[in-house]
A and B are shown apart, each in its own frame.
Chain A
Amino acid sequence: MEAELTVCDEVVTLVVSGELDAYTSPQVRDRLVEALEQEARWVLADLTRTEFIDSFFLGVLMGAGKRAGDKGGDITVICDRDHLLITFHRSGTTELLNVVPTRAQAEELIAGWKSASQDSGAECREEEDS
């Protein structure tokens, strides 16, 4: 398993290749948690090069989504592999994790969330000002 993790403009982007199970997932979890404890509040997990996931890794993604949500953020997962999509579907996590097939769709989702977040922040500030 190889994981690349970058943080830019409050978005932590995770690109993982190989297999994610109870042995390899904790390494990814720890790095995601660290990023979300610092600057990041949006999560983009790119699984287009991932060959295997199980419920342990789904738990890691759900945990990251929860942490992001606690900071007013959210998570999206890029996945275009049928056998992984089945796991998301059967575990009922496709919608919860905002699974989309392309990087463009994931980035669009995050841009929309960010924009909505800034708008609501502006509204709050306006309310405070009035």
Chain B
Amino acid sequence: MSAQGDRISLSIPVSAKYIAAARLLTAGLAARANLSVEAVEDLKIAVSEACTNVTEHAFASEAEARNQTIDLTFHVANGELTVAVEDEGCGFDPKHLPDMNNKPVVNDTGIGVYLIREMMDEVKIESAPGSGTKIVMTKRCAR
């Protein structure tokens, strides 16, 4: 691993079928970043939730999602893994995301993002209606 860390990319079709592949790579890279077993599990869930949000909400129909991809970019450094999950779907206004003080109920669209925020050390969400979504998540070693 270089001093600045390494960058790895993965693109998967917008299909739930391939989310397991994203989790698998996440687990491998998190281990390379020397994260704990618990942190690896948190990352797997966060990446899975981010990808599921794309397959479930980013495109209005399967036809629209065809030929589209979920683009994952990992930045691996010692003791830290940052994952960006990006799509070119319909996007949304981040103001409509649930407040962390008001836990959404399961089945609400906000539960995935809520879990991501609960499990990651840092989360940034960039999105706007019609402009796709990019969610950047960082998990660090407990110091």
Which chain A residues (86-106) contact chain B, with CB distance < 8 Å?
86-87, 90-93
- Contact across chains for A22 and B106 when beta carbons are under 8 A apart: no
| Interface hit among B47-55, B61-69, B82-90 | B47-55
Please determine whether A56 and B119 come into contact, CB atoms closer than 8 angstroms. Answer: no
Contact A90 B118 (CB under 8 A): yes
Q: Number of A interface residues at 8 Å Cβ cutoff, please give it.
A: 20
Query: How many B residues have CB within 8 A of the partner chain?
Result: 27
CB-contact partner of A54 in B17, B37, B52, under 8 A = B52
Q: Which residues of B contact A (CB under 8 A)?
A: 15-17, 19-20, 23, 37-38, 41-42, 44-45, 48-49, 52, 55-56, 103, 105-107, 111-112, 114-115, 118-119
- Between-chain CB contacts (< 8 Å), 22 pairs: A19-B20, A21-B23, A21-B48, A21-B52, A22-B56, A23-B15, A23-B16, A23-B17, A23-B19, A52-B45, A52-B48, A54-B45, A55-B52, A55-B106, A59-B107, A62-B105, A63-B107, A83-B37, A90-B119, A91-B115, A92-B106, A93-B106
